[in-house]
Amino acid sequence: MTLEERLRAAIAAPRPLEVSQDDMDRHELGETCPAAVLVPVIERLSPTLLLTQRAGDMRTHAGQIAFPGGRIDPGETPADAALREAEEELGIPRSTPQPLGFIDSYRTGTGFYVAPLIAILPPDLPIIPQPDEVADWFEAPLDLLIDPANHSRESVEWKGRLRHYWRIHFEDRYIWGATAGMIVNLSHRLRHAL
């Protein structure tokens, strides 16, 4: 099965029962802000995911590991927003990614309702990070990131309650929160699709 066939099967698979979301009650969140991210899978012999580290002075999620993405502007579709954000943050022309489809939307504890768009990117694409938004970028092996052995469930007390979130360790980096949750969702889908 090719990478594209494997990802398309994961997108089409029924939603698994163990899908994770940030551990927040819906009534605590109030209004949510629609957002979209590009989940860029780089087509290499061993496929990788392209991830960014957000700039340290960003208003939200400063310094965190993330997929390129952000708010959906009025009149935009989630796919348009994901492709626009990847272009703005990393210089990836909107026509370059090969969009395959969306996986489960992800509601964050900070009030975003995120649509993750899976797309394939060619290898060795020039990446030009926008320094106001992106401090760094890197690739991580897809197989490592989706391996459940590398997923850990963590807890923290926040606003007087114990909250749970996913964390994935890769080299000297920790991917956690919504980004890790979306990777865990993709992992569940890939396992249920095969």
Determine the pLDDT at residue 155. Answer: 85
Q: What residue has token string 């990777």? A: 183
CA-CA distance, 133 to 56, in Å (whole number)? 9
Domains annotated for the chain, with CATH where assigned, are 3-193 (3.90.79.10)
Output the pLDDT for position 162: 81
Nearest to 55, CA basis, from 117, 140, 129, 166: 129
The pLDDT, as a whole number, for residue 30 is 60
**Closest by CA position to 10, among listed 142, 180, 137:** 142
Distance separating alpha carbons of residues 115 and 35, to the nearest angstrom = 6
Which residue, among 9, 15, 65, has the nearest Cα to 39 in the 3D structure? 65
Nearest to 21 by CA among 117, 189, 164, 157: 164
- As beta bridge partners, residue 42 has 48, 121
Going residue by residue through the chain (194 aa), what tens digit of pLDDT does each one get? 888 999 999 999 776 544 445 444 444 556 678 999 999 999 999 999 999 987 655 565 555 899 999 999 999 999 999 999 999 999 999 999 999 999 999 988 778 889 999 999 999 899 999 988 888 999 999 999 999 999 999 988 877 778 888 999 999 999 988 999 999 999 999 887 76
Q: Which of 13, 20, 1, 10 is nearest to 166 (CA)?
A: 20
Contact between 63 and 17 under an 8 Å Cβ cutoff? The reply is: no
* 177-193 and 3-12 helices, crossing angle to 10°: 100
d(CA 128, CA 3): 26
Residue 159, by phi and psi: left (phi above 0), alpha (psi -120 to 50) or beta? left
